[in-house]
Structure 1
């Protein structure tokens, strides 16, 4: 079963090389969708792990970039991660293995803190692993955009990531995909991701933002009224 990895990268010159190096040897087509003007595109094109680099002149955000990458590949399984994220060894293989079950249409995994301190590590473990282990069996599936995969055909049939949502487009996608089959959680399919947003916004601030976003989303409203609209 063939797989592709789509990496949206907007002004990520500082992190894209490490992200792509982690994808080298993962037995997948790597598609990088690049926006911005800081030289990220040059770094991506020079890296041996990048099979395709697509210039995103529209720059409509990560949801649109992920959708474009998914449309550009013909692979049966499409994995998604970010340019500030380092996937673990065998990450693609762990995602791909679940699709031998024809009832599975999506896979998600936990997040770990990249270059964080012990506080980051503890909070990531609680909020981005243990919480998922509790919420997914209850039906609240939250596959993070930097650590998820889908059957391409079902993903495209479902409309992919909602490009009109300012954030929570990844949660929205994973919840909608449940109409097509099972979306499973693999606690061993981990990635390490930047803690820069947590450092800038603070954990409490982000928690409240997402709590409000979930509440608005549950009522059928825009979860953020423009929050996180920019890359």
Structure 2
């Protein structure tokens, strides 16, 4: 079974090398979807781990970039992570191991803070692991966009990430994919991701933003924030 890793990277020159370093040696084609004008494209093209660079001319957010990357490969399974995220050794293999079950159409895992402190570690454990362990079994699956994978054929047939959503597009995608088969939460398939949004917004602000977004989404309304458009 073959895999590709799609990495959306908008003005991420300072971070993308570290992300690509972690993807070197993973058994997958690495597709970097590049936007912005800070030299990220040059860094991505010159990195040994990069298999393909796709220029995102529309620059319409991470959902569109991820979809573009998924269309650019023909791998059976597409894994998604971000340019400010570092995956551990064996991350792709961990995701792939679940797809031997033909019923499985998607896999998600927890987030850990990258260069965070003890407070970050504790809050990430609560909000990006324990919460998932509780919500997934009752059907509220939330595969984070920087740590998820899908069978490409099913992902594209379902329409991929909804490009009209300003955020929560990853939750929306995983909930729609649930209708096509089984989604697995693997607590050992973790990644480390930047805490810069938490630093800028604060955990309280982010929690409130998402809580409101979840309620609006459950009521069939747009989540109500343009904040994450500036990816």
Alignment of 1:13-162 (within 5 A): 13-162=13-162
Q: Equivalents in 2 of 1:224, 1:124: separation in Å?
A: 24
What is the deviation of 1:88? 1.1
Aligned CA RMSD, in angstroms, stands at 0.6
State the SS of the aligned residue for 1:223: coil
Q: Equivalents in 2 of 1:126, 1:88: separation in Å?
A: 20
What is the deviation of 1:227? 2.9
Q: Which residue does 1:166 correspond to in 2?
A: 166
What is the deviation of 1:228? 1.4
Q: Equivalents in 2 of 1:166, 1:188: separation in Å?
A: 29
State the SS of the aligned residue for 1:222: coil
Query: 5+ residue gaps in structure 2?
Result: none
Superimposed CA distance per residue, residues 118-175 of structure 1 (whole angstroms, 9 cap, x where no aligned partner): 0000000110001101110011100000000000000000000000000000000000
TM-score (norm 2): 0.99
Query: 5+ residue gaps in structure 1?
Result: none
Q: Equivalents in 1 of 2:110, 2:225: separation in Å?
A: 27
Q: Which residue does 2:200 correspond to in 1?
A: 200
What is the deviation of 1:14? 0.8
State the SS of the aligned residue for 2:137: coil
Query: Are the aligned partners of 2:167 and 2:225 in contact in 1 as well (CA < 8 Å)?
Result: no
Q: Equivalents in 1 of 2:139, 2:166: separation in Å?
A: 23
What is the deviation of 1:95? 0.3
Q: Equivalents in 2 of 1:114, 1:224: separation in Å?
A: 28
